[in-house]
Amino acid sequence: MPEEEATKPENERPGPPEPARPARPRRFFTRRNALWAFFSIALLGLSAAVLLTVFYRYGVFDTYVKTQFVAKMADIGVVFDADVFRVTVNPLALELQNATFNDKVSGEKLFFIRSAHLDLTVKDLYAWQLSRDISIDKTAITGAEAWVEFDENGRSNFSNLKFVEQEPGARVNFKYGSVDFSLQDSVVHFGYLSRKLSGNAKNVSFLLSPENLGVPEDQRRYNFDLKSNDSNFVYDTSTIEKISISAAGIADARGAEIRSFELKTPIGDSMMSGVLTDWAAPKYSLDIQSSVDLTQASGLFPGGTGLVGVGNFKGKVTGEGESYKIEGEADAQSLRAGGVYLKAVNVAATVAGTNSNYEANGKAIAEMLTFDVFRLDFLKLTGNVRGTGTDFRWVGELQAAAAKAPLLTLGGLFLSDAVAE
């Protein structure tokens, strides 16, 4: 009671209440929580390892990557299938066996691969994103077979394909910027119906590797090396066997520099080097040296005039598409064609044409020309030739040091506006 409290001595009176102590803040990073976090991470890691093992063991990765790969091929216009489609995780790689690539529209064969091994890298593997870029770093293919055909209208069996750009945000994008490619023990079948051309490139090997990985992908250049032997070529019903081809150079998105191209056949050999630009509409400029057995070569063209002799050519060939221009010199120790004989002939000319139509301007000299009972010594021809295939018309000047016939001998001969067919 207040009155009683007031009558108590001062030392017995209760003092003022003590102030309340502030509550101690609760600690989050305690030893207990740290242990829980450690065990949670360990459990998560163990679960991830188990899932990875199970996924890999039962082909979940294989199925996922294959689904994305098949979808990409379908976007291009290719139906893909394979007896073996296997993905390994460490190292990341893709293995194919007996894989087929057929045209989605026509069903025609495009490629077959007996065995392939692709080394892969997933870019930004641990980034939090739904899409992934898979870099195809190295590809090794053995036992491939390809079919390249053109119909009577010049339409290729690859014309239905659509080489679409990678779409940003797609679940999987396959990148080829650092590709190191090798092809061994392969065959390429070629056919051009309207030109009556066909062939088989056998024992094909092809190597492609980046010149410098330190430059941006759009500026990267690739060294290439191509070889083929025991191949064949068919024109109409005539066949050339035992053909060998080798080529080496460097290429990029804009074209190729051909350091060397060598073609060896039973009818002759050719070597060339030069530049090819613009893959979409190819333009070429090539320096060529060749030697051809005209006797065997003329047998490829049924109905044409038979030639006897060996011809040599050195010059430059330029062109775009089916249009071409040839500048150079051709010579032969002796030529015989349809009763005409030329000895020590040399021709310097420029020829321009499209397909089988051509026009030539130049000069030809020969030590001797004989035709039936006529003979011309130290012959010189200058003028213009126009023709289609083996049919041509020449207009120009003819000079000879001497002309002989059974009833006539001339010490010198000069004809202007002369015509020959």
Are 392 and 421 in contact, with CB atoms under 8 Å apart? Answer: yes
What distance in Å separates the CA atoms of residue 315 and residue 297, rounded to the nearest whole number?
20
Render pLDDT for 184-223 as a digit per residue (tens, 0 to 9): 999 999 998 877 889 999 999 999 988 887 888 778 889 9
Q: Is 14 exposed, middle or buried (0-12, 13-18, 19+ CB in 10 A)?
A: exposed
Q: How many residues does the chain have?
A: 421
- % of the chain with per-residue pLDDT over 90: 32
Q: Above 80 in pLDDT, residue 344?
A: yes
Closest C-alpha to 52, from 90, 23, 25: 90
Range with lowest mean pLDDT among 84-98, 150-164, 203-217: 150-164
Closest C-alpha to 118, from 89, 96, 100, 143: 96
Render pLDDT for 345-375 as a digit per residue (tens, 0 to 9): 999 999 999 888 899 999 999 999 898 888 8
Are 105 and 81 in contact, with CB atoms under 8 Å apart? Answer: no
The DSSP bridge partners found for residue 109 are 102
**Region 20-35 average pLDDT:** 53
Closest C-alpha to 413, from 384, 365, 377: 377
Beta strands in 49-179 (DSSP E): 78-88, 93-103, 109-123, 132-150, 172-175
What pLDDT, on the 0 to 100 scale, is given for residue 113? 93
Q: Is 33 exposed, middle or buried (0-12, 13-18, 19+ CB in 10 A)?
A: exposed
What distance in Å separates the CA atoms of residue 101 and residue 269, rounded to the nearest whole number?
35
Render pLDDT for 393-409 as a digit per residue (tens, 0 to 9): 889 998 888 888 888 88
What distance in Å separates the CA atoms of residue 389 and residue 354, rounded to the nearest whole number?
11
Torsion angle (degrees, nearest 10) of CA 39, 40, 45, 47? 110
Residue 242: pLDDT band with limits 50, 70, 90: very high
Task: Give φ, ψ of 407 to 5 degrees.
Answer: -115, 10
Render pLDDT for 373-395 as a digit per residue (tens, 0 to 9): 888 899 898 999 898 877 888 89
Residue 124: pLDDT band with limits 50, 70, 90: low
**Predicted TM-score of the model (pTM):** 0.72
Kindly give the interhelix angle for 31-57 and 60-76, rounded to the nearest 10 degrees. Answer: 60
